[in-house]
Chains A and B, each alone.
Chain A
């Protein structure tokens, strides 16, 4: 028995970063907006309470804030010849849950992708020839860096990013990233106070002719009032960002930047603990009528709405499209279908340098407090003599010194027992780590679809993830590891250890929650699921907003670009779509 509810102008699925941004923008436009959130309500004082927010066992080890696999999981395999099996625990990536979504428990690295990332296919073809990317399924985004700039600016000022501009309107800025695209103005806040390890890393890089700069951070370097009038507090460098909510209003999230204003609006409502099962389409499948959701008592509701915005995590956006019949599911055998196409990830590797004579006090930290070297990222370097495309940011960002998880030991140390304990005591304060955050290239056989066998608790098919690191990306990562080894040698120390990326993606050890693609944007409805305003090609009153829209992933964290795309979608809806509701904003 489904209860039919009174209609809304807009229904938003998921109240994280993108849902909150769209809700704020569209309520400002005067629309009546409802957000439906699968997880619970979450609020700083009650859920990230200063008295227990820094409970490593509860939040990091037992992952209290994350999506539990019993609620939704995926099946996984490395290539289409295998039979996928369900992930019965999350490991390689940890998905968000509840109001604020993954934006609650992120570290706060906030990047802009470059024009050369957006126009990647055109650019790589021009520079290196089509043959270089023949094995890959590289796609342009359909937007330029210049077009995205105002939206990045909007997100960075909303979120109070701490950083140092490298290029303001074409003028290179001392101390910033010289490889970034021109930006219209500096970051809203100055960089954070630098800790010892990133300072040494930057010195080493500089001595090698590289260009280190402070990582742009969503941890506040000072008290900040954002354009909505909401105040955030200066970060205390407690080192409990990733996997934790911030108790000090110091890390940007929907809670700290939007919700205090949004929740007071008379034309906004959120229903938490309510899971959207699918988008309901009108006969013919060309327009959405609303969504069907179920609350925790099992009661089912139909919520009619004129406009449906999928603002869940990217993977969930793609699955909801598949379950709702929005667009056609990608088939790697024929290359046809767009939903699930170009699933990408992140190709990371890491280095540890062990010292005898240094004390890094790793507990003085913040999620995005560190230094980055972009000399080998994206198109910042010439790939002419190389056998790959793409690159990585090299980051020295010691995010924390939490006691359970921070146990660096020399290679060859036993994994347990008194020798291990002794080694962790020696290694805790004196180990410097840094890593490459590598780009992820799309291929024909890395994709998402629905699993033929396994179902969720409502009987809906699980999503199936078919993924392995492409050979191109392994070559890229090895090249970056060689460069990192040079930095490690320059840093000195008694020993170093390079952890290289290998083929055979393993879903167990944590790697990155930067899952991208599955509902990618573009200019060709045959090769993209949404247009450049993130509007579904197939069902124009549905927008699909998030990292699901990335045609491939760059060597950078995705949140800055996710926020910018959310503002772009909001702009498209406010200034174009509403003039002619239901019509496509872009003619294919």
Chain B
């Protein structure tokens, strides 16, 4: 972040003083748009130069590498015009008519205002140019033919601005604009069709990607944010921790790079909007798990989990997440839960919650059936009522982790 700010400062020196103040404002606003859009989350490699290209994204269709979007002329977007950039954000068609794959969330960014995109562009031009050639398209034939995206867009995409709902408050609408637009929450949290397009009817109801299950973030009482207060949502996005959960996996990264840097009013707006999103799926109580498995699971829980998470599953503040009503525990899909037990997880570092406690990997210690039993116990105890977990569920995640 410091490097970004320094880059912005250096560019400012080159423009005339009369313009400088206005332009500085615009660049700063654009930098905030980059925070909202979490550009760095994909386009900056861990430890790498800002926006000079990221780590490969494993999509169901193959690998895509987020390209270098610094203003380098050879390897970045230095030859792009503002119009190119605007069209890319709005339509998924970039410089020279190159069609993007929707791993770049233009189906969300299309809802951004012209002003916000223009601000973002102003900021992008000030980033330090880095020469780093990235081969973005590593998809197999025929998916690697970008022209195919013409057809995809025809079926799945339409350029659209954000549709405000005049019956709702300005705060709600600001939240909706961030969630649907720059924040592109649905890119992870909305289930996808077989073509990889968002299933709008299941908006934000939870989806599996890259070996994690991004949970339901509607206001669903069982699997979603129903038990969270607005303040809980804000605390989670700002610090990575609240009374119900500690962020893990890709969300931890999104919090570190993006949501922890959002303004408090924007976080509150997001919370207002999410808390107002109804969904009626998944609210049915799962059938009571088999008693023998509950007994086996409880014994495993006492031996392996209770020292941190407590005999009653209540955890300890910002250190050990509660398992009672925990959204990761409550999802119908146990993928993230299994993954955290097998591989461990480390909490995100934020100013408000700097501890970064870790859950250790237990893959070496517990067999698939044992993990299935203990997770079945956790999902069926203390008021939780998520479905039982099978050893096959665990085996599938273990296989992904140790190919």
Contact = CB atoms under 8 A, between A and B. Distances in A.
B344 interface: yes
A229 B364 CA distance: 33
Interface string B263-296: 0000000000000000000000000000000000
B352 A238 contact: no
A233 interface: yes
Contacts of B364: 51
Contacts of A238: 307
A44 B362 CA distance: 14
Interface string B346-384: 100101111111111010110000000000000000000
A260 B356 contact: yes
A225 B307 CA distance: 19
A371 B359 CA distance: 34
A233 B352 contact: no
A49 interface: yes
Given A247-B307, A248-B308, A223 B319 contact: yes
Interface in B231-252: none
A223 B316 contact: yes
A233 B319 contact: yes
A234 B349 CA distance: 21
B369 to A, nearest CB: 18
B38 to A, nearest CB: 19
Nearest to B306: A236
Contacts of B346: 45
A225 B318 contact: yes
Nearest to A262: B354
B2 interface: yes
B320 A233 contact: yes
Given A51-B362, A234-B316, A261 B354 contact: yes
A125 interface: no
Interface of A is mostly: loop
B317 interface: yes
Interface in B174-200: none
B365 to A, nearest CB: 5
Question: Interface residue tally of chain B, by bracket?
Answer: 20 to 34
Contacts of A232: 319
A44 B359 CA distance: 10
A45 B360 contact: yes
Contact of A231 (B307, B317, B358, B359): B317
B319 A45 contact: no
B349 A260 contact: yes
Contacts of B354: 228-230, 260-261, 264
Given A223-B316, A225-B318, A264-B349, A233 B360 contact: no
A46 B318 contact: no
Contacts of B2: 266
Given A50-B308, A225-B318, A231 B360 contact: no
Interface in A250-279: 260-261, 264, 266
Contacts of A260: 349, 354-356
B195 to A, nearest CB: 40
A533 interface: no
B357 A249 contact: yes
Nearest to A266: B2
Given A50-B307, A260-B349, A44 B357 contact: yes
Most chain A CB within 10 A, of B353, B354, B362, is at B354
A233 B357 CA distance: 10
A237 to B, nearest CB: 10
Contacts of A231: 316-319, 353, 355, 357
A315 to B, nearest CB: 32
B316 A45 contact: no
A236 B305 CA distance: 12
A249 to B, nearest CB: 6
A265 B320 CA distance: 24
A44 B320 CA distance: 13
Contacts of B318: 225, 231
A260 to B, nearest CB: 5
Contact of B360 (A49, A225, A229, A266): A49
A477 B119 CA distance: 77
Task: Pick from B2, B349, B351, B360 the residue with the most CB of A within 10 Å.
Answer: B360
A249 B359 CA distance: 11
A233 B349 contact: no
A381 B396 CA distance: 69
Given A223-B317, A233-B319, A45 B359 contact: yes
Contacts of B358: 43-46
15 contacts: A43-B358, A44-B358, A50-B360, A51-B304, A51-B360, A223-B316, A223-B317, A223-B319, A229-B354, A231-B357, A233-B320, A247-B360, A249-B357, A260-B355, A261-B354
Interface of A: 43-46, 49-51, 223, 225, 228-234, 236, 238, 247-249, 260-261, 264, 266
Given A51-B364, A247-B307, 19 more contacts: A45-B344, A45-B360, A46-B358, A50-B304, A51-B304, A51-B365, A223-B316, A223-B317, A228-B354, A229-B351, A229-B355, A231-B319, A233-B316, A233-B319, A238-B307, A248-B308, A249-B319, A249-B357, A261-B354
